[in-house]
Structure formats: C-alpha cells, structure tokens
Amino acid sequence: MAQTHSYACRDYPEMEACPFHATAETEEELWKLMELHAAHAHGEDPSQWSKEDRAFIKTLIKSG
C-alpha cells in the first residue's frame, strides 16, 4: 500500500472551525492542495509564507 500524506486545516492554530482536510499520495501534491485552499478559502498568498511558516505547517502533515 502506498504511503499517504494528510493535512487538516483545523490543526493550525486559530483555524479550528475550518473543515478543510486533504490527503494525497505525495507530500508535493498535498502542498499544492494546501496552497490552493489557503489562497481561495483564507485569502492568503502562499508565496509569502516564510520558511518558518512552512516548517511549522510541515509538522502538521501526517504520513502513514
């Protein structure tokens, strides 16, 4: 069975009410889904995320 990677927006501090959850076969694919969600649902510009922001978000990704 292939490994999957998942992310739930509700795991991010102060985003507990957000229902977004994504699962992908690769972490790269998951990041694309997360960035699209952040842009469209939260009005964020993922290109402006700092290295520290990305490092923190990476800790919220579950692999299994």
The domains of the chain are located at 5-63
pLDDT at 4 over 70: yes
CA atoms of 1 and 45, how far apart (whole Å) = 34
Evaluate if residue 1 carries a pLDDT over 80.
no
Model confidence over 33-47: pLDDT tens digits? 999 999 999 999 999
Q: What is the mean pLDDT of the chain?
A: 96
Instruction: Return the number of other C-beta atoms located less than 10 Å from residue 28's C-beta.
Output: 9
Which neighbouring-strand residues pair with 63?
Answer: 5
Q: How far apart are CA 31 and CA 44, in angstroms?
A: 14
pLDDT reported for residue 16: 95
Q: Looking at the whole model, is its pTM more than 0.85?
A: yes
Q: How far apart are the first and last CA of the chain?
A: 10
- The pLDDT > 70 percentage for the chain reads 98
